[in-house]
Amino acid sequence: MASSSADPAVFRARRKAELSPPITPPHSAPNSDNEDEVHADDGIPDDYVQYTLRTQKELPPITWRNFLGELNWVSVIAIIATPIIGVYGAFTTKLCWQTALFSVIYYYITGLGITAGYHRLWAHRSYNASKPLEYILAMAGAGAVEGSIKWWSRGHRAHHRYTDTDLDPYSAHHGLFWSHVGWMIFKPRRKPGVADMSDLNRNPVVRWQHRWYLQLLIVFAFIVPTIVAGLGWGDWRGGYFYAGALRLCFVHHSTFCVNSLAHWLGETPFDDKHTPRDHVITALVTIGEGYHNFHHQFPMDYRNAIKWYQYDPTKWFISVCQKLGLASHLKVFPDNEVKKGQLTMQLKKAREISDELTWPSDSNDLPVISWESFQEQAKDRPLILVSGFIHDVSSFLDEHPGGKHLLKKMIGKDATTAFFGGVYNHSNAAHNLLAMMRVGVLHGGMEIEAEKLAQSVPPSQKLQVLTSTEVNALRAATPL
């Protein structure tokens, strides 16, 4: 009997509740150990993505005719007004070194509010933070003006759960502009996929920041930097324009690059199923969030960069907080599994290279020639026997490094001993090249000496990448 969780009516009811969750009073937060607690993703169909795309109608495409009506004006004003204010201030206000230094410091403080707080702590739960650290990160994150923790994490969890699908709010498949800012300045074409937020709904710091977000935004985005520069060294205007507006502009686009640049620039050393990529440039402009291919494979890991020399100040910040007793339970994905992901991609690339190369003819595709026939044919063309295979060396006679005479004296003979060190122990390249000259298999030549069978495999083919289908086919063809 079909489970009730797959019932569309049940799913629609739960979906409606998830989109408009009840506000839990601070003193009646549900117990995290309550097994009967309802989660937003309880009861969704197994084919949720396909079901949703099939049953939920998306908004019509954005055109020049409906352009203005589809704009999210709050986001438009926030994204456009900030750089305009900052540029105006830069042309009208002298930049002193104290303000310049403080602007950079405050950029990292508010940026870490997003990377170490919103992203790695709350969206991915990659470590535990003490209450003082949670409040610090919540206030710093508010100063980055990217929405509340709850709103930001909701979208980001959907992004990871439905990466590159139409339920991903900033899917890279919609283009670089869309994933960078388009998804914010335009009304979403469809609702993002369901994501469970029950843990954050219980968190008192998250609830506090969500409730007072507007006030916190104003204080930490503009008032704090203005007061610090003003009271500190008398630069009120510089504090507002440089540490406030321009700093905010850089924080915005730094974070936005995680959604855009990190899905476009770089390599895929752990998995190429989706668009996330690793690149040092993206890491430099995102406070360490640029090793995005690793992050999407192991999102619960508190690190983005796993090498000591890779730029990841967010990882370093969390590690320092642990040493200071402000953070604990830093999650690290097992190194054995990380290396499996790397090896998988290395093998895949090796197989792609292998498929592009030309390889020697298989013994099953070559004619079987008797010793007498080999002797007879060698009178008309330069044929040499090595490890049971007959080779036509006519194209290499004049190129042989040891001289043409060494090959000519072996025509019509078994040169196996000479080739494998009797005269000269040939290099891997020589073995590989010789295998490309095969024209036949000597009748009984391989069965007589088992050693020749192993010698006949060129070095380039002693290690091969096979798919599971090919391995199973080999097993089926091998008698027990």
Q: How confident is residue 36, by pLDDT bands cut at 50, 70 and 90?
A: low
pLDDT digits (tens, 9 = 90+) for 220-235: 999 999 999 999 999 9
Query: Is residue 244, in this structure, part of any structural domain at all?
Result: yes
Query: Is residue 216, in this structure, part of any structural domain at all?
Result: yes
Query: Is residue 36, in this structure, part of any structural domain at all?
Result: no
Query: Is residue 358, in this structure, part of any structural domain at all?
Result: no
The answer to whether residues 298 and 175 belong to one domain is yes
Q: Which of 287, 311, 344 is the last residue of a domain?
A: 344
Q: Bigger pLDDT: 124 or 361?
A: 124
Is there a contact between 458 and 432 (Cβ–Cβ < 8 Å)?
yes
DSSP H helical segments within 46-174, as ranges?
A: 48-55, 73-92, 97-112, 131-142, 149-161
The answer to whether residues 239 and 262 belong to one domain is yes
Q: How confident is residue 363, by pLDDT bands cut at 50, 70 and 90?
A: confident
Query: Is pLDDT at 50 greater than 80 in this prediction?
Result: yes
The answer to whether residues 470 and 327 belong to one domain is no
| DSSP 3-state of 387 | coil
Burial label, 245 (beta-carbon count in 10 A; 0-12, 13-18, 19+): buried
CA distance 404 to 406: 6
Task: Give the DSSP H or E segment for 339.
Answer: helix 335-356
Query: Is residue 353, in this structure, part of any structural domain at all?
Result: no
Query: Is residue 354, in this structure, part of any structural domain at all?
Result: no
pLDDT digits (tens, 9 = 90+) for 61-89: 888 888 899 999 999 998 999 999 999 99
How high is the pLDDT of residue 194? 93
Q: What value does the mean pLDDT take over residues 10-22?
A: 46
The answer to whether residues 236 and 330 belong to one domain is yes
The answer to whether residues 299 and 385 belong to one domain is no
Residues 6 or more apart whose CB falls under 8 angstroms from that of 100 comprise: 242
Q: 395: domain CATH number? A: 3.10.120.10
Q: Bigger pLDDT: 321 or 8?
A: 321
Written as one string, the DSSP assignment of 364-382 is: GGSPEE-HHHHHHHTTTS-
How high is the pLDDT of residue 479? 66
How high is the pLDDT of residue 20? 41
The answer to whether residues 221 and 271 belong to one domain is yes
- In degrees and rounded to multiples of 5, residue 74 shows phi and psi of -65, -45
The answer to whether residues 320 and 368 belong to one domain is no
The answer to whether residues 117 and 228 belong to one domain is yes
The answer to whether residues 448 and 373 belong to one domain is yes
Distances (CA, A) of 10 to 43, 53, 148: 7, 17, 30
pLDDT digits (tens, 9 = 90+) for 372-418: 999 999 999 999 999 889 999 999 999 998 888 989 999 999 998 88
| DSSP 3-state of 276 | coil
How high is the pLDDT of residue 21? 43
Share of the chain above pLDDT 70, in %: 90
Is there a contact between 389 and 440 (Cβ–Cβ < 8 Å)?
yes
Query: Is pLDDT at 477 greater than 80 in this prediction?
Result: no
The answer to whether residues 51 and 77 belong to one domain is no
pLDDT digits (tens, 9 = 90+) for 189-212: 889 999 999 999 999 999 999 999
* Structural domain containing residue 1: 1-29+41-56
- Average pLDDT in the chain: 89
Query: Is residue 314, in this structure, part of any structural domain at all?
Result: yes
Count of domains forming the chain: 3
pLDDT digits (tens, 9 = 90+) for 241-297: 999 999 999 999 999 999 999 999 999 999 999 999 999 999 999 999 999 999 999
Query: Is residue 64, in this structure, part of any structural domain at all?
Result: no
Q: Which of 316, 344, 372 is the last residue of a domain?
A: 344
The answer to whether residues 422 and 329 belong to one domain is no
The answer to whether residues 271 and 410 belong to one domain is no
Q: How confident is residue 18, by pLDDT bands cut at 50, 70 and 90?
A: very low
